[in-house]
Chains A and B, each alone.
Chain A
Amino acid sequence: MSALAGTGVLTRLALRRDRLRLPLWVVGLAALFASIGNSISDLYDSDAARLENAQVRADNVVTRAFTGPAPGSSSGALTVSEGLVFTCVLVALMNILLVVRHTRQNEELGRAELVGSASVGRHAGLTAALLLAGLANAALIVLSTLALLGMGMPAGGSVLAGVALGTVGMAFAGLTSIGAQLTESARTATGLGGLVLATMFLLRAAGDAFGDTASDKVTVNPAWPSWISPLGWGQQLRPYGESRLWPVALLLACFAVSVLVAVQLSVHRDVGTGMLPARRGAARARSSLLKPLGLVWRLQRGLLLGWIVGIAVFGAVFGGIGDQVEDLFSSEESAQFVRDLGGGGDLVDAYFAGMMGLLSVVVAGFTVQALIRLRSDEENGPTEAVLATAVSRTHWVLAHTVIALLGTALVLAALGLSTGLAYGAVSDDLTGALGDLLETTLAQLAPTAVLAGFALAVFGLLPRGAATVTWAAFAVCLVIGQFGTLLDLPDALIDVSPFTHLPDLPAESLTTAPMLVMSALAAALAAVGVAGFRRRSLALGG
């Protein structure tokens, strides 16, 4: 079939380009999932403890929404509840980035045009990207199964858990191949993928939250939204529990249909263009654009808006169930779970402290994303053009930092505001709820600033590795925030994340000392970054 001519060569090329990146992803994901399993086995070491925990997971709406219920009460089943959805989200992310990198990015940068002029078929590029995704996901299935088997988990469930990870990955590889046909820029295609992923997560979360707990008080039959989300399908394989294989058919069908749609779309467009037409814009710049601060604002405002809307939805959901917290966490175990997460005292306060703490770390994802732009623009050209004008390096970095922190404050405020409004509405104490929750979320600006300072320091001192190191630091904070207390990680490790050094607001009260220390640390790190950047040559791409 001539439309596929050259697929082999392109696949080898893609493998060569990703020879380091993909193995790291695959090994990292398998190791993450296995380490969650390991901690769970250590933590719940008797049948009674496991059953109790499984019941808490089914009983607790927030856990159900966040991680999903357990498909049974074995160690493996608890591992699935704790880590499957979370790992699936990361697997989906790997597939989104992979497919965009090997399809739309090649087109945007003009590589596809050059390659397409050789004897390469029309669909070879997409096919090569999907083959690579297939290889990565297959490797993930094998590795994660082996890792789980190595920990002494039952064979059937281990295979099924691996299959869940890999096939969810394939479904997202397929969905992304559609997105890559729609937009002209790789950045937008990745953003579109992220949006779909977030929507699928929310659907799955809603499905589990509104599901019916079965008579065993452990398993939950999800409501319909779970059934339109690939993340829901993967979860419904129920490894170490009922062990169903048929949802795999849904995932593979999703992949197949998506690819067919993508192929149809690609036949109807030209190389380099998207299905969504590029719009014209202003012939003159507004005066607000003409300063570095205005420029950076313009570059980041789309991203910021997306974050504000997304986080406001989450906040409204968590705030809206705030008045039911006492009922939702009625058992002593589940109440203890909340207090572990969010500090002692009033259960409602502990609940909000825990939830807002977790979400604030997620918000730092915006901060990192915004600051990484410094590095990508340096690599791709715009920074060279700016620094060849009368803009100093300090000015340029500060403009990015101000917008990143201002944006973070806005996202945190949106989180506090939406949670506070929703909770205020259901609890009839609007002013109290708003004040408390705004203080809670805005206080998170201090630890986020430390992470931002770290990002700047890495940018100044280690430009080539800046993106990787900064995202890794964010991932560490996220894992510690999500699992730190739960998994009894050593204190020394937990202390690494700046987010663990804030009092559990609103359960505890705000103290100035940690805020001051964190602000000073953030400023010092940022100063190191600026000094490093002023001293070094631009690290240009190519």
Chain B
Amino acid sequence: MLTNVPSPGGDPGIAISIRDLVKTFGDTTALDSLRLTARSGEVHGFLGPNGAGKSTTIRVLLGLLRKDSGQATLLGGDPWNDAVELHRRLAYVPGDVNLWPNLTGGEAIDLLGSLRGGLSDTRRRELLEKFSLDPSKKMRTYSKGNRQKVALVAAFSSDVDLYILDEPTSGLDPLMEAVFQECVQELRQAGKTILLSSHILAEVEKLCDRVSIIREGRTVESGTLSELRHLTRTSLKVETETPPADLQSLSGVHKLVVEGHQAEFEADTARLAEIHRHLASLGVRSLTSAPPTLEELFLRHYGDQSAAEPAETVVGAR
């Protein structure tokens, strides 16, 4: 579709590459050496609490904000200098959709699609149906969820390489969220790249191949979900024939509470096999375990804001 874009990134397998990105607004440092790599054809989750810098990163990628330093490459091009060419190949859904109040939703969809380089009428019709959106209402009369749908329909009706979605489901009801997830799955099967910024973990767990987690403008984790799970802990509750008093001596066991034959603790997911072997030797009567969630990982990073800066863990740099 596009041949004349310079490709300083070089690697066609990489859709988005950000290194040491810094962006300040006056005295505030919004992005501080942020790193992010999204491969072509993957759904990349971009996680972080409110104010972590997700939207700022995305706006730098879209050439709307000028970076202070660092490198950012998008589809092989420079987000600032090649903005117009790059934007033909991507669709963007802002987190807060504020368009022209006196245009109808249908007009806004056609307009955004056309300015991007065209949209598929069939797709548009299907999506309006799926999202049950009335396109003949003026934008000012839509609720937040419906304004969000307008941007989603406009984006998903465009056949582009990259979809940048900034907290796209805020304001959508659970039914519509399911429709959204369906759409993302379809795009993934079609080989499209998707950058999905979110703070809804269930959504990210369901959709994303790999995730980057940021906090206060810095990347604190990145990798595939299973790699990140590896870093989390599994909660275990066990009752054994021999009292499990010696569990304390095993590495990877945390927050152990022993009461007679029963024990409750958290285990490093990486050490699970070893711990299981030990428990088996004690004679397991019952065992319940709760699987690790991203939520837990998230809370470990963000839950205790007063804790010292977390050590940066990066896995999956295969």
| Chain A interfacial positions (CB closer than 8 Å to B) | 108, 184-185, 187, 278-285, 289-292, 295, 298-299, 302, 380-382, 384-392, 535-538
Contacts and interface: CB of A to CB of B under 8 A. Distances in A.
B70 interface: no
Contact of B104 (A283, A292, A388): A283
Contacts of A535: 66
A282 B102 CA distance: 11
B84 A390 contact: yes
A289 B84 contact: no
Q: Determine which residue in A380, A386, A388 has the highest number of CB atoms from chain B within 10 A of its CB, and name it.
A: A388
A285 B110 contact: yes
B98 A388 contact: no
B64 A381 contact: no
Contacts of B97: 381, 385
Contact of A389 (B66, B109, B116, B137): B116
Interface stretch (B35-43, B87-95, B273-281): B87-95
23 contacts: A108-B140, A184-B140, A280-B104, A281-B137, A284-B107, A284-B135, A285-B109, A290-B115, A299-B102, A381-B99, A385-B92, A385-B94, A385-B99, A387-B62, A388-B94, A389-B116, A389-B117, A390-B87, A390-B115, A390-B116, A391-B84, A391-B115, A537-B65
Given A278-B141, A289-B110, 15 more contacts: A185-B140, A278-B138, A278-B140, A280-B104, A281-B104, A281-B107, A282-B106, A289-B107, A302-B102, A385-B92, A386-B115, A388-B64, A389-B112, A390-B115, A392-B84
Given A292-B115, A389-B115, A390-B84, A380 B98 contact: yes
A48 B94 CA distance: 69
Contacts of B136: 280-283
Contact of A392 (B62, B83, B110, B112): B83
B294 interface: no
A184 to B, nearest CB: 6
Interface pairs A-B: 4 shortest CB-CB? A381-B98, A285-B110, A389-B115, A290-B114
Interface in B129-147: 135-138, 140-141
B191 interface: no
B106 A283 contact: yes
B30 to A, nearest CB: 11
Contacts of A388: 62, 64, 87, 92, 94
B111 interface: yes
B22 interface: no
Q: Determine which residue in A299, A381, A387, A389 has the highest number of CB atoms from chain B within 10 A of its CB, and name it.
A: A389
Contacts of A283: 104, 106, 135-136
B154 to A, nearest CB: 9
Contacts of B111: 285, 289-290, 295
Contact of B100 (A290, A292, A382): A382
Contacts of A281: 103-104, 106-107, 136-138
A290 B113 CA distance: 9
A302 B66 CA distance: 35
A387 B65 CA distance: 11
Instruction: Provide the main secondary structure of the chain A interface.
Output: loop
B101 interface: yes
Contacts of A386: 115
Contacts, number: 109
B104 A385 contact: no
Interface in B56-99: 59, 62-66, 83-85, 87-88, 92, 94, 96-99
Contacts of A290: 110-111, 114-115
B172 interface: no
Contacts of B62: 387-388
Contact of B64 (A291, A292, A392, A538): A538
Contacts of B204: none
A299 B84 CA distance: 23
B214 interface: no
B100 A299 contact: yes
A387 B63 CA distance: 8
Nearest to A380: B98
A285 B102 CA distance: 13
A370 to B, nearest CB: 15
Contact of A298 (B64, B101, B103): B103
A389 B87 CA distance: 5
Nearest to A294: B111
A284 B154 CA distance: 12
Contact of A384 (B94, B101, B135): B94
B151 interface: yes
Contacts of A536: 66
